[in-house]
Amino acid sequence: MPLLMGNLLQQTYSLVDAAIVGRFLGINALASVGASTSVVFLILGFCNGCCGGFGIPVAQKFGARDYSTMRRYVSVSLQLAAVMSVVIALVTSILCDDILLMMRTPDNIFQGAYYYLLVTFIGVPFTFFYNLLSSIIRALGDSKTPFWFLLLSTVLNIILDLFCILVLGWGVAGAAIATVISQGVSAGLCYWYMMRRFTILRGTPDERKFDGALARRLMYIGVPMGLQFSITAIGSIMLQSANNALGTACVAAFTAAMRIKMFFMCPLESLGIAMATYTGQNYGAGKPERIWMGVKASALMMIIYWVFTFCVLMLGARAFALLFVEASEFEILKDTELFLHISVSFFPVLGVLCILRYTIQGAGYTNLAMLSGVSEMIARVLVSLYAVPAFGYLAVCFGDPTAWIAAVLFLIPAFIFVYRRLLRVKREL
């Protein structure tokens, strides 16, 4: 539950940005925020995936009670994060203009989209460190504290959004600045708490030195997890690029619908993230049979949540869309509602995807999980190239569900392979 609430708060960042921008700055500004959604997902998804991967060896060593190696992993992961986040921020900021041109961003929203994307990229180190520190804290068994820090920064984000946009008049860039500052506060609080609360992390100077072997192990697990998100995002970029070509109204509808969908997807992602840590700990403790128990419990919770969400979005999709646009924007409201109705119908497929993918990652088989991302990418690219030109916005609505189905068709046999292998290794021991 703390994971779920934390993820909901992270999505609240995006919801608040888009809602305030759409209501106070208009449809073009809303489209500016959404024109680069998939690019942001590509970069931040890579960072978040790496952070989740870095936390897995920590959870495994914590479960195995090898605290010295665990401390070394924590130290090396922080050093890697510092270098990687700065490099990513510099490269993406320089390429910002080219990225938007490649995505066929409409001219009337290009400038706003550029400033929003640029500020977001500059803030990558804050996002990277918050997610890494949260992953480490969760690996040590505390999933509540990162939630409270995120709650504080979410409130700060709302206040700063209104101040930057309404008082300072910074427009779309103001929304991005508010988010970056808020995430920086979250990261700082997590680091302060982790170092004060967990005495188990207070190691010797030797344990804080950079270790090449451990760094390679972290990169071996973390980078494929990051690439999985990035590979998935490549398909999303293709899909969004195809949608951008349909005009500003479709971009605005896509923006509103994606913000709402991502918010309601949070419990599914949270179940997956929880399974990654849970699997890592039980893998380290040599109890693979508990992993299957966790998968079944997660699947039951997922189905219960889907029934609730299906009723809410089928009946209330238009009401949620009104958070972003005026009631007179009939076309945008209709397109937003269509997107949400189709997406929520396929949430059980997405739930299975999240549970199995993160379980496989938690066991250390991150390359298999990455290949499921390749399946998603291929499906989205095919929809973008062939279905969208033929069927327009309707095909855009089916882009994600098609990708989820393709990934699950790969993940089910992959999970069976991994689980049987874990049981076989335990018997041999």
* pLDDT above 90 (res 353): yes
Distance CA 187, CA 181 (A): 10
Give the residue with greater pLDDT, 410 vs 362. Answer: 410
DSSP tally for the chain: helices H, then strands E: 18, 0
Distance CA 143, CA 160 (A): 26
pLDDT in tens, 287-339: 878 888 989 999 999 999 999 999 999 998 888 888 777 777 788 888 889 99
Distances (CA, A) of 418 to 275, 303, 371, 411: 15, 24, 14, 10
What does the pLDDT read at residue 2? 63
**Across 81-97, average pLDDT:** 87
Cβ distance 2 to 143 under 8 Å? yes
Give the residue with greater pLDDT, 369 vs 295. Answer: 295
**Taking all residues of the chain, what is their mean pLDDT, rounded to a whole number?**
82
- pTM above 0.85? no
Structure tokens given for 227:
């690439």
- Burial (CB count <10 Å: 0-12, 13-18, 19+), residue 367: middle
Structure tokens given for 404:
């989820």
Radius of gyration over every alpha carbon of the chain, rounded to an integer in angstroms: 21
Q: Which helix (H) or strand (E) holds 372?
A: helix 366-382
The fraction of the chain above a pLDDT of 70, given in percent, is 91
Q: Which of 78-87, 254-263, 326-335 has the highest mean pLDDT?
A: 78-87
Closest CA to 133 of 92, 89, 77: 77
Distance CA 415, CA 355 (A): 10
Distance CA 149, CA 160 (A): 16
pLDDT in tens, 384-408: 888 988 888 889 899 889 999 999 9
Structure tokens given for 74:
């924590």
Give residue 77's pLDDT band: very low, low, confident or very high (50, 70, 90): confident
pLDDT in tens, 145-187: 777 877 787 788 888 888 888 888 887 788 888 888 888 888 8
**Across 75-90, average pLDDT:** 88
What does the pLDDT read at residue 169? 82
Distance CA 201, CA 57 (A): 14
What does the pLDDT read at residue 99? 79
